[in-house]
Amino acid sequence: MDLEERVKSIEERNKRVETDKAWETSIIRKVCICILTYVVVIIYSYIIRKYDNILLSSLVPVIGFTLSTLSLKLVRKIWEQKRDK
């Protein structure tokens, strides 16, 4: 690998790292996590009225976190497209 290719590779990596950092601190990401967590808690509240179970109660943070990480990929792609313009 020659010097130009190495520099180009480093610049591409730096751009990805900058985008990752911007996403982690973006208000869009934080709002989406809040909304998804809120929806999960509402659904959970309706379910838990019928069942008072510690195992079921323990699933709330797991489900909220999992949904936020899975669904935010689409939101991130849209955010990146708008950010790059």
Q: Is the torsion defined by CA of 41, 44, 45, 46 positive or negative?
A: positive
Instruction: Supply the pLDDT for residue 33.
Output: 82
Instruction: Supply the pLDDT for residue 7.
Output: 92
User: 26: alpha, beta or left, given left = phi > 0 and alpha = psi -120 to 50?
Assistant: beta
- Average pLDDT, whole number, for the chain? 81
User: Domains of the chain: which residue ranges?
Assistant: 52-85
What tens digit of pLDDT does each residue of 28-54 get?
A: 888 888 888 778 777 777 777 766 666
Could you tell me the pLDDT band of residue 11, with boundaries at 50, 70 and 90? very high
